[in-house]
Amino acid sequence: MPDTSLPPTLHDALANLLGPAGFLTDASDTASFCMDWRMLYHGHCAAVLRPATTEECAKAVALCAEHNVPMVPQGGNTSMVGGATPDESGKAVVISTTRMTRILNIDHADLTMTVEAGVTLKAAQDAAWAEDLLLPLSISSEGSADIGGILATNAGGNNTVRYGNARELALGLEAVLPDGSVLNLMRKLRKDNTGYALRQLLVGSEGTLGLITTAVIQLQPRPRSRETALCAVADAKSALALFAAFRKQDPAAIQAFEYMSGTSMALVNSLIESCPLPLSEPAPAYALVELASPREDESLRTLMEDVLGQALEDGLVTDAVLAESETQRQNIWMIREEHAEAQKRAGASVKNDVSVPLAAIPAFLEDATKACETLIPGIRVAPFGHIGDGNIHFNLVQPEGADPKAFLAQDHAIMDTVAEIVRKLGGSFSAEHGVGQLKTYMMPSWRGGAELETMRKIKLALDPKNLMNPGKIFPAH
Ligand code: MLT
Ligand code: ZN
């Protein structure tokens, strides 16, 4: 256990500023903030700071900066790449947004919501829904992931296909910079060409340039009709053909279009009690399609039935179930959203959150599957994801009965094998999960040269002492 003590003057100043609820130093209180959701990283910290306001946060950051103490911003702690976990030195403080939970405003004229960073995505969605509006971002971890975290990581998820990533939804931002100054960009304008779009620099910066404290998020009118179906398909090629068929008829109606391999679906059905397969027999793959409209719209059902009817006739779809109630709809979504949890229960897994052009998905799946099965015989290839965005979670679960540690020791070999195929197909090694600490080693070969150098210059300009979320995005020199 490293020495996790803070300089006494800093300790007293922070304790004084934040009070007992906002300043945690006891190992039993800080432990959960030092481990990631996947339990891959076990760090240490000198303290967890939980400011209740931007002002408190800014003062705390200024104090830490003065004492050269590294800071790790943390939202709901659901990162898939260790992006919010401190290192093992015990020198850093975690700055958690969990006490900044106010929804400040919902604006019906501008269709915006102003929220503090610690509001969970689910709480923000529910608040919008209660006002007849939709916060159009949905991810599996939305019950814990918070607004600050989803913006800092530019989260994507299930509705990106229609509304874009978190980046597209962020109209305004407030952030505390690494020296403790407050950058107030809290505008709610759709048009504002006044120099660099600094908010977009903060979005997706994974907490390396500052800590997002408040945001203005774009909303939409809430859907009044939704049609959801789970379809059995032969493969990703058929799933993509089905996607194209819906897109041809009405691209604006597609709210989500998800893919699940037979292997990943079987893990969910067998390991999550509340998620049996709602079809008569297992299939090689599945597509989940959701259509939505802000109108009370019978024609959505007709569209769903027509496209699926034709797809069944053409052999693109071999079986399908349509949700007949909100409960059935939620059950279908639960199956999709429990994929990450089921894979966690199945043992150690290596995640490859990749994107490739849509047309390259079948070749990617085929080549990457072969390559991984050759690399580690018995490996369970369990891909799923947001196929409508070209984003596949090409996740590999350890062979049954294998030693989890030995399997994880091969993570770079697995990730590199997959990445090589992704590169050939013109894709990205991280579509929506970010770089975190898990994938920093890939940055030089993927984003090297002028691109990484420009990122370094920006980082250095805003954080010359490298105190804000060190060890993330950038590989160690
Ligand atoms: C999801 O879409 O459920 C998560 O992003 C995925 C994962 O487990 O890789
Ligand atoms: Zn995802």
385 CA to centre of ligand 1 in angstroms: 7
Provide the β-strand partners of residue 317.
233
pLDDT, tens digit (0-9, with 9 covering 90-100), for 204-255? 999 999 999 999 999 999 999 999 999 999 999 999 999 999 999 999 999 9
For residue 140, give the CATH number of its domain: 3.30.465.10
| Res. 477: pLDDT tops 90 | no
Provide mean pLDDT across the span 35-51. 97
| Res. 1: pLDDT tops 90 | no
Hey, is 453 helix, strand or coil?
helix
For residue 63, give the CATH number of its domain: 3.30.43.10
Residues 217 and 229 in one domain: no
Would residue 475 count as lying in a domain? no
Would residue 196 count as lying in a domain? yes
Residues 328 and 228 in one domain: yes
Residues 153 and 176 in one domain: yes
Q: How many whole angstroms separate alpha carbon 68 and alpha carbon 466?
A: 9
Residues 238 and 316 in one domain: yes
Provide mean pLDDT across the span 403-421. 98
- Chain length of the chain: 477
472 CA to centre of ligand 2 in angstroms: 20
Residues 375 and 428 in one domain: yes
pLDDT score recorded for residue 172: 98
Pick the last residue of a domain from 66, 96, 126.
96
Would residue 444 count as lying in a domain? no
* Angle of helix 411-424 versus helix 361-375 axis, rounded to 10: 150
Would residue 473 count as lying in a domain? no
pLDDT, tens digit (0-9, with 9 covering 90-100), for 346-393? 999 999 999 999 999 999 999 999 999 999 999 999 999 999 999 999
Q: Record the tokens describing residue 82, joined without a space.
A: 């260790």
Would residue 373 count as lying in a domain? yes
Residues 134 and 205 in one domain: yes
Residues 72 and 128 in one domain: no
Q: What is the DSSP letter of 438?
A: T
pTM: 0.96
Residues 303 and 374 in one domain: no
pLDDT, tens digit (0-9, with 9 covering 90-100), for 171-194? 999 999 999 999 999 999 999 999
Q: How many domains does the chain have?
A: 4
E-strand stretches of 186-298: 211-218, 220-221, 225-233, 254-261, 285-293
Provide mean pLDDT across the span 36-46. 96
For residue 409, give the CATH number of its domain: 3.30.70.2740
Closest to 376 measured CA to CA, from 411, 330, 344, 343: 411
pLDDT score recorded for residue 476: 84
- Please report which residue ranges of 153-296 form alpha helices under DSSP H: 160-163, 166-169, 198-202, 236-249, 262-271
Percent of the chain with pLDDT over 70: 100
pLDDT, tens digit (0-9, with 9 covering 90-100), for 268-298? 999 999 999 999 999 999 999 999 999 998 8
Q: How many whole angstroms separate alpha carbon 249 and alpha carbon 244?
A: 9
Pick the last residue of a domain from 176, 197, 221.
221
Ligand 1 atom closest to the Cα of residue 386 is: 2
Hey, is 110 helix, strand or coil?
coil
Would residue 439 count as lying in a domain? no
Would residue 438 count as lying in a domain? no
Average pLDDT along the chain: 97
Residues 68 and 110 in one domain: no
**Ligand 1 pocket, mutate which of 393, 414, 418, 432 (most atoms under 8 A from CB):** 393
Containing domain of residue 320, as a range?
A: 223-338
pLDDT score recorded for residue 114: 98
Ligand 1 atom closest to the Cα of residue 353 is: 9
Closest to 206 measured CA to CA, from 446, 463, 426, 477: 463
For residue 253, give the CATH number of its domain: 3.30.70.2190
Would residue 463 count as lying in a domain? no
pLDDT score recorded for residue 292: 97
Pocket of ligand 1 (CB under 6 A): 80, 140, 339-340, 351, 353, 393, 395
Q: Whose CA is nearest to atom 3 of ligand 1?
A: 140
pLDDT score recorded for residue 102: 98
Q: How many whole angstroms separate alpha carbon 249 and alpha carbon 227?
A: 15
pLDDT, tens digit (0-9, with 9 covering 90-100), for 86-143? 999 999 999 999 999 999 999 999 999 999 999 999 999 999 999 999 999 999 999 9
pLDDT score recorded for residue 254: 98
**CA angle 449-450-456, nearest 5°?**
95
Residues 240 and 199 in one domain: no
pLDDT, tens digit (0-9, with 9 covering 90-100), for 423-470? 999 999 999 999 999 999 999 999 999 999 999 999 999 999 999 999
Pick the last residue of a domain from 35, 70, 96.
96
Residues 326 and 355 in one domain: no
Q: How many whole angstroms separate alpha carbon 364 and alpha carbon 387?
A: 12
How many Cβ atoms are within 10 Å of 206's Cβ, its own excluded? 22
pLDDT score recorded for residue 340: 96
Q: Whose CA is nearest to atom 7 of ligand 1?
A: 340
Q: How many whole angstroms separate alpha carbon 35 and alpha carbon 82?
A: 8
Closest to 86 measured CA to CA, from 32, 13, 160, 14: 32
Q: How many whole angstroms separate alpha carbon 60 and alpha carbon 110?
A: 34
Provide mean pLDDT across the span 293-308. 95
Rg for the chain, CA atoms, rounded: 23
Q: Record the tokens describing residue 230, joined without a space.
A: 């789970």
Give DSSP secondary structure letters for 302-365.
Answer: HHHHHHHHHHHHHTSEEEEEE--SHHHHHHHHHHHHTHHHHHHHTS-EE--EEE--GGGHHHHH
340 CA to centre of ligand 1 in angstroms: 6
